[in-house]
Amino acid sequence: MTPSDRHYSPALRRGPLADPFTYSLYACAPYRGCGHGCAYCDGRAEKYYVEGEFDRDIVIREDLPERLARELPSLREWGPVSLGSGVTDSYQPCEREHRVTRQLAKALSSMPDHRDMGGMGPLPVVILTKSAGILDDLDVWSRVNARSAVLVLVSITSLDEGLRRDFEPGASSFEDRLDVLKRFKAAGCLTGALTMPFLPGINDGIDSMHRLFAALKALRVDFALSGGLTLRPGRQKEHFFRVLQDTRPELMDEHRKIYREERASGAPLRSYQLELMAKINEARRGLELPWMLPHRDLRRLLEPHDELAVLFRQMIELFRGRGVDIKRLSSALTRYEAWLKERRTEFRRHRKLPSNWLSERLRSALTCSELAQVLDNRKLTDFAGRVILDRAILDPLTLRLVDSHEEITPRHSADSQHQLQ
């Protein structure tokens, strides 16, 4: 272990946009490095500059809760705080001793509420983990959820304990991770499963994936996001291949073939990506398990201006999955995000602006021609008006808007994919 990094400042890192993966505006990492020691973790890659042995030389930021508590009262932007990242897990084994994450949770649960005076309320929180240790703090996170919202994202890629022992040696059992999702869902929190990475020839079989998705569906998780393995050239790929050689040597040739292009992103051959996506779709067939956090739940986490940007990104993925041309939608998103970044820079520069200024600025842009010019897409502008002004909800299965009081039911519409194109 290494001592806390006293020079790391501030406690919260602010993004210019809400993160499309975690939906968060702020990030806060209590540790750096991870004792779970997962063989495939891309936190080992040179890109992330984690020094030392990734699963042993853990940086412990013991002063982070104190700094966070000082920062929270002065915040002006409401949005989720993400705990955990690609280079750490907030509930890795050292949390049992150091309890940095629990102290962060207490600080967030005690955040002042100034909504009755037109100010900000407590921040929502997104937690990424593959540890049942998070259950030790269920009491604190329940308090945060009662005042705002909590989304728990649990990484789980199989129900096979043999896989976990070989490739995720320090992480909790898959059964315990399912229990985390069950108990946080029962507590009223939002829950998502990160069913990734699926490893070639190991846990990417349709039957194995279907059993996992069926177990998640039975727990009524809000969504399950799936994906394959990326191996960045260098430390990450070399480490994974060493573990693979020790545990599944018969698969070495297949992996060398699939990852032979040595892409900086670590992506496998395009042919394998398409094959995997087809298998994932087949494994999920009939379960009606959302890929992404549904819009109704997304609204619990984000202000309207960030909600719209994330919603556009979700729509791109949904349309792409149906084979629909996304060029116009992608261009509109690029222009909207540029517009939002400019407005956010202005807001952050002028501290006397009220905390709701960005959302009111978006509503103003919708009622004149400004946002229509930004999006340059009449149907998408009408869609944005329904979402922001009328507070309509996007049904992720039909891709149609419904009134916020309507119940979204599992159904499919053959012509829905053309609504916004």
pLDDT digits (tens, 9 = 90+) for 101-118: 999 999 999 998 877 777
**Percentage with pLDDT > 90 across the chain:** 82
User: SS3 of 225, please?
Assistant: strand
Query: How, if at all, do strands 13-14 and 81-83 pair?
Result: unpaired
User: How high is the pLDDT of residue 322?
Assistant: 81
Q: In the prediction, which pLDDT does 233 show? A: 96
Q: Does residue 8 surpass a pLDDT of 70?
A: no
Q: Is 7 a residue whose pLDDT tops 80? A: no
Pairing state between β 81-83 and 59-60 = unpaired
Higher pLDDT, 396 or 328: 328
Token output for 31: 């540790």
- Residue 156, C-beta contacts closer than 8 angstroms, at least 6 positions apart: 130, 174, 177, 178, 193, 194, 195, 212, 216
Q: Tokens 């073939």 identify what position?
A: 257
Strand 400-402 versus strand 150-155 pairing type: unpaired
Task: Look at residue 57 in the predicted model and tell me its pLDDT.
Answer: 92
Q: % helix / strand / coil in the chain, to the nearest 5?
A: 45, 10, 40
Q: In terms of C-beta density within 10 A (0-12 exposed, 13-18 middle, 19 or more buried), how is residue 270 classed? A: exposed
Separation between Cα atoms, residue 159 and residue 171, nearest integer Å:
13
pLDDT band at 406 (very low <50, low <70, confident <90, very high): low
Q: Quick one: pLDDT band at residue 417, thresholds 50, 70, 90?
A: very low
Q: What is the mean pLDDT of residues 297-319?
A: 95
pLDDT at 136 over 50: yes
Domain regions of the chain by residue span:
13-284, 303-418
| 1 pLDDT above the threshold of 70 | no
| pLDDT value for 171 | 97
Specify the pLDDT at position 416.
32
What is the percentage of the chain residues whose pLDDT exceeds 70? Answer: 94
CB within 8 A of 412, min separation 6: which ones? 397, 398
Tokens for 270, please give them: 């395009």
E-strand ranges in 89-165 read 125-129, 150-155
Residue 318 has pLDDT above 80, yes or no: yes
Adjacent-strand bridge partners of 393: 402
Return the CATH number of 13-284, one of 3.80.30.30, 3.30.420.40, 1.20.120.1810, 3.40.50.300. 3.80.30.30
In this prediction, residue 84 carries a pLDDT of: 83
The CA distances from residue 331 to 19, 197, 256, in Å, are 18, 29, 36
d(CA 147, CA 417): 37
Q: What is the pLDDT of residue 143?
A: 96
Query: 420 falls in which pLDDT band (50, 70, 90)?
Result: very low
Distances (CA, A) of 88 to 159, 175, 332: 23, 22, 34
165-176 burial, b for 16+ CB within 10 Å, e for fewer? ebbbebbbebeb
Taking the chain, what is the end-to-end CA distance rounded to the nearest angstrom? 53
pLDDT at 6 > cutoff 70 = no
Banded pLDDT at 415 (limits 50, 70, 90): very low
Between 420 and 278, name the one with better pLDDT: 278
Q: What is the model's pLDDT at position 407? A: 58
Token couple for 141: 């996170």
- The region that residue 17 occupies, defined by phi over 0 for left and psi between -120 and 50 for alpha, beta otherwise, is beta
At residue 408 the predicted structure's pLDDT band, cuts being 50, 70 and 90, is low
Asked if 31 and 88 touch (Cβ cutoff 8 Å), the reply is yes
Low-confidence winner among 6-20, 228-242, 354-368 (lowest mean pLDDT): 6-20
Q: What is the mean pLDDT of the chain?
A: 91
44-74 CB burial, b ≥16 within 10 A, e <16? bbebbebeeebbeebbbbeebbebbbebbee
117-126, 135-144, 181-190, 398-407: range with lowest mean pLDDT = 398-407
| Pairwise CA distance, residues 192 & 289, whole Å | 11
pLDDT above 50 for 414: no
Q: Averaged over 27-41, what is the pLDDT?
A: 95
